[in-house]
């Protein structure tokens, strides 16, 4: 056996794939380290915006224009969609525990919440749909409203109808 740094290589090994894998480990560790560094600091959002969003206990999100995918007979057609200013209220936000509550036009539900370098993501799971809302730690120009996007992945008694709408969220205290 030959010793190179901390890793051992068997010069008689008949499996060159294992040798390659061992050489790739430092590159994978470096990639994970870089990813962790990016997740610790918000990209181009000010620290104040980022902290405000992560510390919010309630958000009011309003969504308008977007698009919907209609799958008729297995063929995709994309149409415009407009939520017409529908409000979603996220309250009891606890990013550390990963829990929150949403109240919208169809009722109320418990949701999971995840915090990342981008902001907050809320995930609502139902039998026929998944709704995902992300509030980014970036303000809409000239405001203190956070940029947001809402995606719905619906499949109920027919073909899938995914949609995505854009809007903003404000801290609602």
Q: Which has the closest alpha carbon to 90: 113, 53, 59, 62?
A: 59
Q: pLDDT digit string (tens) for 69-119?
A: 998 888 999 999 887 778 999 999 999 999 999 998 888 999 999 999 999
Cβ(139)–Cβ(147) below 8 Å: yes
Retrieve residue 56's tokens.
């919010």
Full-model pTM:
0.71
Per-residue pLDDT of the chain (173 residues), as tens digits, is 444 443 333 344 344 444 444 444 555 655 554 444 444 444 455 888 999 999 999 999 999 999 999 988 889 999 998 877 789 999 999 999 999 999 988 889 999 999 999 999 999 998 888 999 999 999 999 999 999 999 999 888 888 889 999 999 999 97
Please state the domain extents for the chain.
2-40, 49-171
C-alpha distance from residue 142 to each of 20, 145, 147 (Å): 52, 9, 12
Fold (topology level) of 49-171: Lipocalin (2.40.128)
């Amino acid at each position: 056996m030959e010793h190179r740094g901390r890793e051992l290589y068997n010069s008689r090994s008949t499996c060159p794939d294992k040798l390659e894998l061992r050489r790739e480990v430092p590159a994978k560790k470096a990639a994970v380290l870089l990813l962790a560094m990016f997740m610790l600091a918000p990209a181009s959002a000010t620290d104040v915006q980022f902290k405000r969003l992560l510390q919010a206990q309630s958000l009011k999100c309003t969504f308008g224009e977007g698009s919907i995918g209609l799958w008729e007979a297995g063929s995709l057609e994309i149409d415009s969609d407009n939520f017409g200013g529908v409000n979603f209220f996220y309250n009891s936000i606890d990013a550390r525990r990963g829990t929150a509550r949403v109240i919208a036009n169809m009722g109320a539900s418990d949701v999971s919440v995840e915090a990342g370098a981008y902001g907050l993501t809320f995930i609502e799971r139902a039998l026929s749909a998944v709704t995902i809302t992300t509030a980014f730690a970036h303000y809409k120009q000239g405001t203190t409203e956070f940029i947001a996007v809402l995606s719905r992945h619906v499949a109920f008694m027919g073909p899938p109808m995914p949609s995505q709408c854009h809007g903003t969220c404000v801290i609602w205290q």
